[in-house]
Amino acid sequence: MIFGCHVSIRNGYLGAAKRAEAYGAAAFQYFPKNPRSLSIKDFDRGDAGSCKEFCQEHGMVSVAHTPYSTSLTPSEDKKELTIASLLNDLEIADSCGSVGVIVHFGSQISKTDPLASYHLMLEMLNSVLSQWSGEALLLIENNAGTKGALGTTFEELVQIRNLADYPEKIGFCLDTCHMFASGLWNGENTEEFFAKGQELHYFKHLKIIHLNNSKYPTGSRKDRHANIFQNGLIKDEHLKDIVTSPILKQIPFVLETPDDEGITHREEIKQLYQKWG
């Protein structure tokens, strides 16, 4: 099993890798730059290279996550800035040896044209990836369904990748809280969940799993993460069915859970290895 968590880059990219390793993690996620800005970062390539070497030496997997304000369905005045920011994120991730950069599926932008959001997403993906030749992938994450968000079904996720000009540069990130909140998976339909994902070849391109419990019930469309073994509404046995599934073998599970609600990421990772590792 490969368990890890999100870590800060306040001590640089190598510092983030060392922090994750100290937590007992075999994988980690990080923001490549200020998570509240789309600004372009002139990053320390030596530090990024050292991060890559450290991960290779310790057998660790890393993945980057775009800043909060990144959207594949941006307003017209943010399109060029978003494209430049995504390319910057991909360059940083590639330099760190990361598997890719996670970005959320787009949101509804028109009340009259249901396809407008999908057209804009494809335009954005094609624009970014036509300019990208590195190894890091753009990893599209499923949504919880808040604020009319799209991207809550396997069909949408797979079809966007299939219709893009560069599908080989696109992978997926699956969030367990989001799939529970959206109703894609409710804990009781695990067999159907895996069957549908396999039928559509979704899992073939899945690279990272966000392992989170949920503070709200399934179908609520509320995105509030809870710790795995406390304060969450997803039952342990249901999460175990996901984590230990042979279909997801060798895919890293990265925590995005609260680390200030009675348990730290270090403790949570230890629990995961003891119970399911």
Pair 241, 229: CB distance under 8 Å: no
Owning domain of residue 234: 3-276
CATH number at residue 13: 3.20.20.150
Q: Which amino acid is at 10?
A: R
Kindly give the pairing relationship between strand 170-175 and strand 225-226: unpaired
Instruction: Convert the pLDDT of each residue in 113-159 to its tens digit.
Output: 989 999 999 999 999 999 999 999 999 999 999 877 799 999 999 99
127-132 long-range contacts (CB < 8 A, ≥24 apart) are 127/83, 128/83, 128/86, 128/87, 128/90, 129/164, 129/165, 129/166, 129/169, 129/170, 130/165, 130/166, 131/83, 131/87, 132/87, 132/90, 132/166, 132/169
The tens digit of pLDDT for each residue in 47-79 reads 999 999 999 999 999 999 999 999 999 999 999
Instruction: State the pLDDT at residue 88.
Output: 98
Q: Which region among 26-35, 87-96, 99-108, 146-155 has the lowest average model confidence (pLDDT)? A: 146-155
pLDDT (mean) for 87-94: 98
| Bridge partner list, 173 | 141, 208
Identify the band that residue 181 occupies on the pLDDT scale cut at 50, 70 and 90: very high
pLDDT tens profile 246-264: 999 999 999 999 999 999 9
The two beta strands, 225-226 and 27-30, are unpaired
140 vs 72: CA distance, rounded Å: 10
The predicted structure's pLDDT at residue 148: 75
**What are the tens digits of pLDDT across the range 25-51?**
999 999 999 999 999 999 999 999 999
Beta-carbon contacts of 237 under 8 Å, excluding residues fewer than 6 positions away, are none
Amino acid letter, 251? I
For the CA atoms of 120, 122, 127, 130, the dihedral, rounded to the nearest 10 degrees, stands at 180
Q: Which of 1-15, 139-153, 164-178 has the lowest mean pLDDT?
A: 139-153
190 burial level (CB within 10 Å; 0-12, 13-18, 19+):
middle
H or E element: which one contains 255? strand 253-255
For 119-146, what is the HEC assignment? HHHHHHHHHHHHCCCCCCEEEEECCCCH
Question: Domain count of the chain?
Answer: 1
